Structure 1
Amino acid sequence: MEKIKQSQLFDTLSKKMVWGFVFLITIGTVLLSLPVATNGMRGTSFIDTVFTATSATCITGLTVVNTAEHWSIFGQVIILGLAEIGALGYMTFAVLLFNLMRRNLDLSTQLMVKESLNLENLSDTKSVMTYVVGLSALFQIGGSLLLAVDFVPRYGWVRGLYISVYHAVMSFCNAGFDVFGDSLMRFRNDSYLLLVTIILIIGGGLGFLVWRDLLLFHERKRLTLNSKLTLTTTGALFVIGFLLLLVTERNLSILPAHTSWFNRTINTLFLSVTPRTAGLITVPTNSLQSGSIFLIMILMFVGGTPGSTAGGIKTTTFGVLMLQSIAQLRGKKDVEFSRRRFSASNINRALLLIFLASIVMVVATLILTQTEKIPKGFGLEYILFEVLSAFGTVGLSLGLTPHLTVIGKLVIMLLMFIGRVGIFTSLYSLSKRQTTVNKIRYPEENVLIG
């Protein structure tokens, strides 16, 4: 009976979270529909406005119009605000409002915060919220100041500070919007800028719970299993991705011949970080080698850490399934890591997540092959890359998004939404589940696998 009540509560919270994001997208759409939101007061089509609001709220960065050329300062600030709220979670700002009003959080709000930040215990809500707000402010203000050192001399105080804040927020929120029109391609030789951006991307994608563990390590003298697995998986993906990209891209041979070895290495490092849902680029994605594109697609699918600004299936899911595979191949019954054993429900949840994510992307890819035109010189990867980018809330593109049909835009919007809200939350909110307790258990029987 207790399990049934918990399941019903989770379904209710899932619906509230989904409708909360829908409401935020609606507000963003209304504001971006105003003539003042575009340059020259020319306005934007309804579908493009909804697409932009969805991309910003879901911190993706896929765009059907050029952000720098199409949107006015007002429009760009709205996009910035949507990305900030979408990254930290609208529940974060609801809690801030409660605190300003000096009101205690009711149980429903605490449960919403717990689910939105993937917390394990309800008692963690207040302390974690402090870290979420504090860390976000620290990274974004610090990043803005570091970037101002580079941008203010280039663009002057007003424009330079605006660009610094905008870029710092978008980098930390892992959103791919920019105010230059070509992402960061004009700064490919600015190693200082790229290194600061890398730090901001990793800072946002690592997860607030992991940062809290690291900051409290001097007191606790230990890390949680979640943090250990996250750091191990993130580090492995970072190193392996960087080394493989060095090989597949021949140390970015597509760059001009006079580009120094150091700048090539920094750009390769940036290229290995940005698919982890950041979406900023220094080289045209469609000019990369086939091996590099395939590797980036894998990194986009994995994404970042639960409870962070990143999307994808998450590093912990990938890590658990890797450990599960290794344990099975070695003939071990238990899946162990750092002197701990993963529960069967934990592993089953990871497997279900992979399966559901695969089904969603297969269906989306199939639809897009029927509605979108693949240019000469490209194959199925032209569509699959966009699907993975939307689901992982990355924002990288091979060029399909600006040319999407109406149906294509709807499919990509749905993928971005599912990727940000979470596939379990999205599906639970749509289903009418009736959790029952099985009173009869049938005999076991095996089937042939593999």
Structure 2
Amino acid sequence: MQKLKEFKFFDTLSKKMVAGFVILIVIGTVLLSLPMATTPGSHSSFINILFTAASATCITGLTVVNTATHWTTFGQVVILALSEVGALGYMTFAVLLFNIMRRNIGLSTQLMVKESLNLENLSDTKSVMRYVIGLSLLFQLGGLGLLALDFVPRFGWHRGLYVSLYHAVMSFCNAGFDVFGNSLMDFRSDSYVLIVTMILIVAGGLGFLVWRDLLLYHERKRLSLNSKLTLLTTMSLFVIGFILLLITERDLKLLPAGTSWFNRTVNTLFLSVTPRTAGLITMPTGKLQAGSLFILMVLMFVGGTPGSTAGGIKTTTFGVLMFQSIAQIRGKQDVEFSHRRFSQANISRALLLVFLASIVISVATLILTQTEKIPQGFGLEYVVFEVLSAFGTVGLSLGLTPHLTVVGKIVIMLLMFIGRVGIFTSLYALSKRQAKVNLIRYPAENILIG
């Protein structure tokens, strides 16, 4: 009976979370449908408006129209607001409103926050929320100030502060929208802008629980197992991705001749960071080597950290399975890391997540190969890259998104939604089955594997 009650609880909670994101997308669609949201002469079909609202709410950044030229300042601000709320979670703003009104947070609200931020204990809700709001303001305002040092002299005070704010928010939220028209390609020789942007991307993708652990380390003198695994996996992927991209891109020879060694290194670092669900680019993705595209697809699939502004299967999932594989190869029964043992429930959940993600990606890829046209010079990677970008809420593209059919746009929207809300949350919300307690257990028997 207890398991049945728990299942019903999570089922209801998941439906509320899914409904919240759906409502945000609907509100965004209505606002972007207003005449003041589009520039004169620009026409927006309903499906394109819905796609943009979904991409912003799911902090993806895939666009069917050019954000800089198609949307007015009002439309761009709507996209900015949707990305902010979508990244931090609408429950964060609900709690902020409660605090401003000096009202106590109810149990149901705390449970929603706990689920949205992947917290283990309900008691952590209030303290973590303070870190979420505080760190978000700190990094985004800090990013605004640092970027303004470069953008204000370039564009003047009004335009400079606007683009500084826009890109500080989008970088921290790992959203990928831009108001320059070609992402950051005009700034690939500006190492300062790229370094600031990378810091914001990593800060947003690292996760608020990890930041809390790091900030409290001087008091606790220890990090949680989650934070240790996150930092190790994040750094490993970052370094390995950087080294492999240096090799596959031959030190970024596609950059203009005369580009300094330092700037080539910064651009390669940026190329290693941005697939972690940021979506900002400094060079045309379609001109990258095949090996580089494969590396980007792997990084997009992994994504960022649970409880962060990033998507993907998450670094902790990848880390758990990595140590599980090492333990199996060594013939060890327990999966150990940092003098701790991962529970079997953790390992099973990680395996299930990767399996379900693979199924979702495979089905979406199959559908898009039937509905979309692959241009000459590209192969299956043209579709797979876009699918992984949508599922990982990344926003990188080989050029498919602007030419999607209606069916293709629906598929990509569903991928973005599942990637942001989470596979388990989506399944819980759609499931009508109830958990059953097994009263009979059959004898175990082995089968041939491998």
Give the TM-score band, short-chain normalised: over 0.9
Cα separation, 1, equivalents of 2:133 and 2:3? 33
Please give the alpha-carbon distance, in whole angstroms, between the structure 2 residues aligned to 1:79 and 1:371. Answer: 28
Q: Distance between the aligned counterparts of 1:41 and 1:103, measured in 2?
A: 47
Cα distance in 2 for partners of 1:313, 1:132 equals 21
Shift of 1:3: 2.3
For residues 403-442 of structure 1, the aligned pairs below 5 Å read 403-442=403-442
- Give the superposition deviation at 1:433: 2.1
Give the residue type in structure 1 aligned to 2:208.
F
1:43, distance to aligned residue in structure 2 (A): 4.1
1:211 aligns with 2:211: yes
Post-superposition CA distance 1:262-285 (Å, at most 9, x none): 110100000000000000000100
1:36-75 maps to which residues of 2 (within 5 A)?
36-40=36-40, 42-75=42-75
The whole-number CA distance in structure 2 between the counterparts of 1:114 and 1:34 is 35
Shift of 1:98: 1.2
In structure 2, distance between residues paired with 1:7 and 1:325: 30
Structure 1 residue 41 displacement after superposition: 6.3
The aligned residue for residue 327 of structure 2 is 327
* Structure 1 partner of 2:35: 35
Q: CA deviation at 1:428?
A: 1.0
The 1:102–1:76 alpha-carbon spacing in structure 2 relative to 1, beyond 3 Å, is same
SS at 2:26's partner residue?
Answer: helix
How much does 1:84 deviate? 0.1
The separation in 1 between residues aligned to 2:108 and 2:448, in whole angstroms, is 46
Tell me what 2:194 maps to. Answer: 194
Residues 1:288 and 1:378: Cα distance change in structure 2 (over 3 Å): same
Gapped regions of structure 2 (runs ≥ 5): none
SS class of match (2:87): helix
Measure the CA separation in 1 of the matches of 2:263 and 2:96: 42
Post-superposition Cα deviations, 1:379-419, rounded to whole Å, max 9, x if no partner, equal: 00000000000000000000000000000000000000000
Matching residue's letter, 2:100: L
Amino acid at match of 1:373: K
Indicate the residue corresponding to 1:260 in structure 2: 260
List per-residue Cα deviations over 1:76-129 (Å, max 9, x = no partner): 000000000000000000111111121111111111000000001000000000
8 A Cα contact 1:191 1:266, kept in partner:
yes
Counterpart position of 1:88: 88
Contact 1:111 1:122 in 2 (8 A): yes
Cα distance in 1, alignment partners of residues 101 and 301 from structure 2: 41
* Corresponding letter in the other structure for 1:149: L
Matched AA of 2:254: I
Give the superposition deviation at 1:256.
1.0
Which residue of the partner structure matches residue 227 of structure 1? 227
Partners of 2:228 and 2:351 lie apart in 1 by 20
Structure 2 CA distance for aligned equivalents of residues 86 and 369 of structure 1: 29
Q: TM-score, normalised by structure 2?
A: 0.99
CA RMSD of aligned residues (A): 0.6
Between the aligned partners of 1:447 and 1:29, the Cα distance in structure 2 is 52
Greater mean deviation of Cα atoms: 1-10 or 397-406 = 1-10
Range moving further from structure 2, 36-45 or 145-154: 36-45
1:396-450 superposed Cα distances (whole Å, 9 cap, x missing partner): 0000000000000000000000000000001110011211111111111111111
Taking the aligned partners of 2:3 and 2:147, their CA distance within structure 1 comes to 50
Runs of 4+ in 1 over 3 A off after TM superposition: none
TM-score in terms of structure 1 length:
0.99
1:245-324, aligned counterparts within 5 Å?
245-324=245-324
- Which amino acid letter does the alignment assign opposite residue 299 of structure 2? L
Moved more, 94-103 or 181-190: 94-103
Structure 2 counterpart of 1:133: 133
Larger displacement relative to structure 2 (429-438 or 394-403): 429-438
Read off the aligned partner of 1:175 and give its amino acid letter. A
Counterpart-to-counterpart distance in 2, 1:110 and 1:426: 20
What are the equivalent positions in structure 2 for 1:336-415 lying under 5 Å apart?
336-415=336-415
Q: Does the aligned pair in 2 maintain the 1:35–1:43 contact within 8 Å?
A: no
1:243 has 2:243 as partner: yes
**CA-CA distance at 1:44 after TM superposition:** 1.1
State the AA in 2 paired with 1:422: G
Aligned to 2:113: 113
Q: Percent identity?
A: 80
